[in-house]
Amino acid sequence: MSRYYRLVVSCPDQVGIVARVANFIAQQGGSITEASQHSDLETGRFFMRYEILADSLAMGPDAFSEAFRPVADDFQMDWAVTDTGKLPKVVIMVSKESHCLVDLLYRWQGGELACDIVGVLSNHDDMRSLTEWYGIPYQHIPVNPDDKQPAFDAVEAQIEALQADCVILARYMQILPPALCQRLSGRVINIHHSFLPSFAGAKPYHQAYQRGVKLIGATCHYVTEELDAGPIIEQDIHRVTHCHTPKDLVRFGRDVEKSVLARGVRWHLEDRVIIHGNKTVVFN
Amino acid sequence: MSRYYRLVVSCPDQVGIVARVANFIAQQGGSITEASQHSDLETGRFFMRYEILADSLAMGPDAFSEAFRPVADDFQMDWAVTDTGKLPKVVIMVSKESHCLVDLLYRWQGGELACDIVGVLSNHDDMRSLTEWYGIPYQHIPVNPDDKQPAFDAVEAQIEALQADCVILARYMQILPPALCQRLSGRVINIHHSFLPSFAGAKPYHQAYQRGVKLIGATCHYVTEELDAGPIIEQDIHRVTHCHTPKDLVRFGRDVEKSVLARGVRWHLEDRVIIHGNKTVVFN
Amino acid sequence: MSRYYRLVVSCPDQVGIVARVANFIAQQGGSITEASQHSDLETGRFFMRYEILADSLAMGPDAFSEAFRPVADDFQMDWAVTDTGKLPKVVIMVSKESHCLVDLLYRWQGGELACDIVGVLSNHDDMRSLTEWYGIPYQHIPVNPDDKQPAFDAVEAQIEALQADCVILARYMQILPPALCQRLSGRVINIHHSFLPSFAGAKPYHQAYQRGVKLIGATCHYVTEELDAGPIIEQDIHRVTHCHTPKDLVRFGRDVEKSVLARGVRWHLEDRVIIHGNKTVVFN
Amino acid sequence: MSRYYRLVVSCPDQVGIVARVANFIAQQGGSITEASQHSDLETGRFFMRYEILADSLAMGPDAFSEAFRPVADDFQMDWAVTDTGKLPKVVIMVSKESHCLVDLLYRWQGGELACDIVGVLSNHDDMRSLTEWYGIPYQHIPVNPDDKQPAFDAVEAQIEALQADCVILARYMQILPPALCQRLSGRVINIHHSFLPSFAGAKPYHQAYQRGVKLIGATCHYVTEELDAGPIIEQDIHRVTHCHTPKDLVRFGRDVEKSVLARGVRWHLEDRVIIHGNKTVVFN
């Protein structure tokens, strides 16, 4: 497997950005294997993602970043250089539903998700044996319904201790406190089991059944302080009919949820997702 | 083209309904070419739709109905017998967007929609030449924004004069008054340009763009007094990305709207849709 | 979980079948919870599937069958009564690719597949620990490329010893000999990793890549003597672009394969699939 | 509507292409509004498409091309500059099926297809009134089944006389002679009513029905000498069941055909499609 550096940029749009960036990379001898750009005409913001073969460059990622800084400053860029040789650390949080966790672990083991899964946290102990079968540490952090803050403090401490770059709520079913959402902004990915903005909140499949919709869905999004209202990364749907009970909707939904979450997580881990206000640019 | 009678039934579920109905049809020598049934376990209601080859019966639709009445009474059925030899009368209402009207007229001319289109009503005069090219009468009924009731009275009078069995709001863009919705209950089909219940009301594609959804949709539903809240017949979606502007969403949406509306209308005209509370049973 | 009897019938179409069957069931007090029928106009054949609440009948499945026999004889029916209280026995065959096996076992454990998985057979030993984790016996039956018959004899002996009602080729990657296909006719389900009839045979994703198709697919079908040519139960597709390498196609394909196979297997196990020549009637 | 120049390039991949091209454009003050790139790892070929705001450049398209030539030569580019201010000329060819023609003309009138439709050619006279309603010249060129060459000579003469940049076979149903296919290579777009490579040749829906597939499809592709084997631009599918007759397949297929063709044609007209061997790169 080749190693790449990824340069991800967003900045105010103007003439000459691509020329300057591409020049810089060419001067270093960099071989661009994938390039994506987007100009948002409404906000006048420019986005780009370049994947560069590490072997084609004479310098390491830190030196590359240092050399790039003047370019970034000239264009007031929000930017980052990541190195596929250094895997991001991921914490997964679950409750009692296993389908998303099972799917993520299986894909991770098969090489579909380029990350280190450094821990699974749960308010229940049910998923311990499965998680440990994959050699991943499992933390049971019970949530006291009458006083949830101590549990969330423990969650936050664990996330810090594990140095997680990314937290995946794989059907965690607890609402994280606003302060924690803020501190982890842009790093927490949730799967909601409806086609947002329809059926935010609790029991979306039952809401969908009562409304009589003909399609159900799932939404992968970044967590923000406002429940189920963060930037959407990916969505998908499944067709239903009058024959299907809420139990059928839950069953179909499991398949949609896990594939939507897996796609969203993969794109995030590959630095393909850029948050832009309450929306996302996804270079997939 | 063969002629069929369609028997559509809903009633409280109990043992023996199918036997009794099927016996009755067999005794008349009726050849069933399509049969659909559904038991709703939540409400205990039973639904059925039988398509019977007219030539296989010794009697006409009225005599058939008369003979069936005792069966219907025994099971407290809501029921109807329709005759494909007698086309339902349809009125289409439009505003300035032509795509749904054009699509319906083209399908109707090609034999996809078994109905008589007895008139097109519009608050604008734009679609007159297109409509009249198909040989269909066009009525321009302007709506005064400060006093809409006279226009709606004229609309209602036209619907009655044309003896319409069904009214299709093919992007009419005006909200019918509640009293009219009630009087035409179960006979007015609307296309809403969002995946309901998301983005009810005005400018749904702009709402969808602002929310940053990754799928847009359209919903075909029966009109009730509450705006965009009636029983859903059909829905579908189209994938969008950060590249797409509101104008692109409108363009993609046109294709979704027209195909969703055409399917919903076809099923309604073929007596495949049964309203069940605020939901539908669709035997398609 | 309630218990049901399923009556599945195919016979030459004629007036009175439904009446006779429904009468028979009603006379036994049978409560029909799901009913499906189809008349094939091209071949004049009739198909039906009734699901009857076991508790509503005074007799067991054998007595029910015995009582039904005269009806079946009168209409020259191919027919069967199954009892959801008696789970069908299933053997899964795999090679080295795990995704379909993992998916089936997970769904089975979660109650989505109503069967007893009585064994997993493989030409490799790779899937042993996974299979045994689920408490299922694993048989490694190596295939000698120069003389495959002994392995297939062992496979057949195992299938008989395990009294398998159904064999699932979950990416087994070996072609069963014609005689075995014949003996197990209608009981062996395969997943082929292309949208048949495109790309039958070996390496379909590479064939698809070379042809430059914009959609790849998978096909679940019954195995017959002719390779990849048996009755199709289910198919689905995934969109691809010029960006995707054969490796990406394989990755997308895994998701399509496992969901298509799972649907096909579920429908087969629920007696929803009737073979009709080289086609299927699927009452899903 | 703003005016753009589109620069479309393919060449052997090497370090520095993007830098050189982007530099060139930046030096002219060019504002890039859309940029797409692709490196084909298998063949080592590089593809790019830039959309540049015409007003941001000091020169016209011819001077721009002249100035770009040295860059192109250095990298051995196949390249073109197009000007959205100069619409490509399109000829549509049809037989008796109207759905694709109707759909293309409607989209064209609504501004979805940026081209001049300079003529419709047909082996029948059926579509004359529809075509002329849109103000487009119609040529009836009958094909003698016993000697087709004179008709094809007349077709070719018309295409030349009309200076067509692009020919769309919107269900023309005649096979163009190989020599004509060669002369118009890369400029003739066909819609085939199957999911190629399945069911090439005649009566694909009947082939699909006989095979019992669960999905039917349509394929938009460039015409080459080998029937239905040219580079694929776009494909899509529609789900079918045992309930559907060949007539239903034809009906569903019409909707798939027209939307697949419309997408393919739009992308071609916007210079989003680059032929690469027998495949396509589509920057959509």
CATH assignment at residue A32: 3.30.70.260
Measured between beta carbons, which residues in chain C are less than 8 angstroms from residue D235? 213-215
Measured between beta carbons, which residues in chain B are less than 8 angstroms from residue D251? 112
Antiparallel, parallel or unpaired: β C138-140 and C116-122: parallel
Same domain, A215 and A246: yes
Sequence-distant (≥ 6) Cβ neighbours of residue A168 within 8 angstroms:
A90, A91, A92, A93, A104, A188, A189, A261, A265
Question: Which chain B residue shows the shortest CA-CA distance from D103?
Answer: B103
Q: Token match 């440990």: residue?
A: A132
Question: CB-CB: which of B197, B198, B279 is closest to A242?
Answer: B279
Is the Cβ of C15 closer than 8 Å to some Cβ of chain B?
yes
Measured between beta carbons, which residues in chain B are less than 8 angstroms from residue C31? 15
pLDDT band of residue C123 (cuts 50, 70, 90) is very high
Q: What is the pLDDT of residue A26?
A: 94
State the nearest Cα–Cα gap between A33 and chain D, in angstroms: 6
Same domain, B125 and B157: yes
Tell if the CB–CB gap between C26 and B33 is shorter than 8 Å.
no
| Mean pLDDT, residues C102-124 taken together | 98
Does B1 have pLDDT greater than 90? no
Given strand D215-222, what is the order of strands in its sheet?
D138-140, D116-122, D89-94, D166-169, D188-192, D215-222, D232-239
Is the Cβ of B57 closer than 8 Å to some Cβ of chain C?
no
Tell if the CB–CB gap between B237 and A245 is shorter than 8 Å.
no
Same domain, B76 and B100: no
- The rounded mean pLDDT for chain D is 96
State the nearest Cα–Cα gap between C149 and chain A, in angstroms: 33
User: Could you tell me which of C164, C196, C180 has the C-alpha nearest to residue C268?
Assistant: C164
Q: What is the pLDDT of residue A120?
A: 98
Distance CA B119, CA B113 (A): 15
Is the Cβ of D136 closer than 8 Å to some Cβ of chain C?
no
Three-state SS for D209?
helix
Same domain, B222 and B276: yes
Is the Cβ of D135 closer than 8 Å to some Cβ of chain C?
no
**Catalytic residue, candidates D228, D236, D255, D271:** D228
Q: How many CB pairs under 8 A join A and B?
A: 81
Tell if the CB–CB gap between B235 and A214 is shorter than 8 Å.
yes
**Crossing angle for the helix pair D17-27 and D61-74, nearest 10 degrees?**
150
Overall number of domains in chain D: 2
What subunits touch chain D, counting only 3 or more CB pairs under 8 A? Answer: A, B, C
Same domain, D119 and D167: yes
Same domain, B94 and B79: no
State the nearest Cα–Cα gap between C204 and chain A, in angstroms: 21
Does C281 have pLDDT greater than 80? yes
Q: From B45, B68, B83, give the residue that closes a domain.
A: B83
Measured between beta carbons, which residues in chain D are less than 8 angstroms from residue A35? 18, 35, 37
SS3 content of chain B, % helix, strand, coil (to 5): 35, 30, 35
Q: What is the pLDDT of residue C115?
A: 98
Three-state SS for A250?
helix
Q: What is the pLDDT of residue A230?
A: 97
Same domain, A74 and A168: no
Q: What is the pLDDT of residue A1?
A: 75
- Measured CA to CA in angstroms, residue B224 lies from B174, B193, C5 at distances of 14, 17, 41
pLDDT band of residue C1 (cuts 50, 70, 90) is confident
Helix or strand run (H / E) with residue C83: strand C78-83
- The rounded mean pLDDT for chain B is 96
Q: What is the pLDDT of residue A113?
A: 98
The per-residue pLDDT for range B26-61, each reduced to its tens digit, is 999 999 999 999 999 899 999 999 999 999 999 999
Domain that holds residue B193: 89-282
State the nearest Cα–Cα gap between D244 and chain B, in angstroms: 11
Q: From D83, D111, D136, give the residue that closes a domain.
A: D83
State the nearest Cα–Cα gap between A70 and chain C, in angstroms: 32
Distance CA A99, CA A127 (A): 11
Same domain, A206 and A108: yes
Q: What is the pLDDT of residue D1?
A: 76
Same domain, B116 and B23: no
Same domain, B104 and B146: yes
Q: What is the pLDDT of residue D115?
A: 98
Q: From C33, C64, C83, give the residue that closes a domain.
A: C83
Identify whether A126 is a catalytic site residue.
no
Tell if the CB–CB gap between B251 and D106 is shorter than 8 Å.
no
Three-state SS for C182?
helix
Is the Cβ of B255 closer than 8 Å to some Cβ of chain D?
yes
Please check whether residue D159 is in contact with residue D153, taking contact to mean a CB–CB distance below 8 angstroms.
Answer: no
ipTM reported for the complex, 2 dp: 0.96
Indicate which CATH number applies to the domain containing B184: 3.40.50.170
Measured between beta carbons, which residues in chain B are less than 8 angstroms from residue A42? 245
Helix or strand run (H / E) with residue B104: helix B99-109
Measured between beta carbons, which residues in chain C are less than 8 angstroms from residue B23? 19, 22-23
Same domain, A96 and A190: yes
Low-confidence ranges of chain A (pLDDT < 70): none
Same domain, D77 and D123: no
Q: What is the pLDDT of residue C263?
A: 98
Question: CB-CB: which of B214, B231, B236 is closest to A232?
Answer: B214
CA angle D232, D233, D239 (to 5 degrees): 85
Q: What is the pLDDT of residue C144?
A: 96
Q: What is the pLDDT of residue A142?
A: 97
